[in-house]
Amino acid sequence: MALLNILRYPDPRLHTVAKPVVSVEPRHRTLIADMLETMYEAKGIGLAATQVDVHERLIVIDTSEDRNQPLVLINPRIVWTSAGRHVNEEGCLSVPGIYDGVERFDAIRAEALDADGRGQTIEADGLLAVCIQHEMDHLLGKVFVEYLSALKRTRIKTKMLKQLREEVRA
Ligand code: GNR
Ligand code: NI
């Protein structure tokens, strides 16, 4: 097990489009264990491989209260979306300290492989639906701040770069 480094916006590697996992191999088992450990340590509810600089379609999620219901989605695809959408407050481990509203489908159905390479169907609403949509955006190279206005995004970029500079000086 190992903690992985989470890329931080505006790192250009966050805009890489992930490739499908061709077959679930031992290295993916290691990656999944490390991503779960990293997600729990960072107190996140989800983590996409893109955020740890691995550009394959793999995400881990745990939206449970007790943080004991890990979900692994490999090559996820959304097969159904509700008609309704709502704006929810989102945050991102790659954009620490920033929270803002993003419109998402209220409910979705997704198909994916699990950690054993078996097919699974996930019906999600509430926070889980939001999280799956947020993580699948990461796999397409998209960070939630890209839904915000250009002005907000510029301010966020400036704030993130300032934070980084201060960490380097400290
Ligand atoms: O930990 C996270 N919380 C969160 C809250 C609202 C909407 C989406 C998320 S995902 C985020 C973890 C993360 O950055 N995943 O990519
Ligand atoms: Ni995120």
The catalytic site residues sit at: 135
Structure tokens that stand for 132 in this block: 């799956």
Q: Considering only the C-alpha atoms of the chain, give the largest distance between any 2 of them, rounded to a whole number of Å.
A: 49
Nearest to 58 by CA among 114, 107, 6, 2: 114
Q: Specify the residue with its C-alpha closest to ligand 1, atom 11.
A: 92
Question: Rounded to the nearest whole angstrom, what is the distance from the C-alpha of residue 9 to the centroid of ligand 1?
Answer: 14
pLDDT at 124 over 90: yes
Residue whose entry in the numeric block shows the structure tokens 């379609």:
57
Q: Which residue has its alpha carbon closest to ligand 1 atom 16?
A: 47
Per-residue pLDDT, 1: 85
Q: Hey, how many other C-beta atoms are within 10 angstroms of the C-beta on 169?
A: 6
63 alpha carbon – ligand 2 mean position (Å): 14
pTM > 0.85: yes
User: What's the average model confidence in pLDDT over 9-32?
Assistant: 98
Asked whether 33 and 2 are in contact (CB, 8 A), the reply is no
Query: What is the spatial distance between Cα 46 and Cα 141, in angstroms, rounded to a whole number?
Result: 16
Task: Give the pLDDT confidence of 85-103 residue by residue, as tens digits.
Answer: 999 999 999 999 999 999 9
Which atom from ligand 1 is nearest to the alpha carbon of 138?
Answer: 16
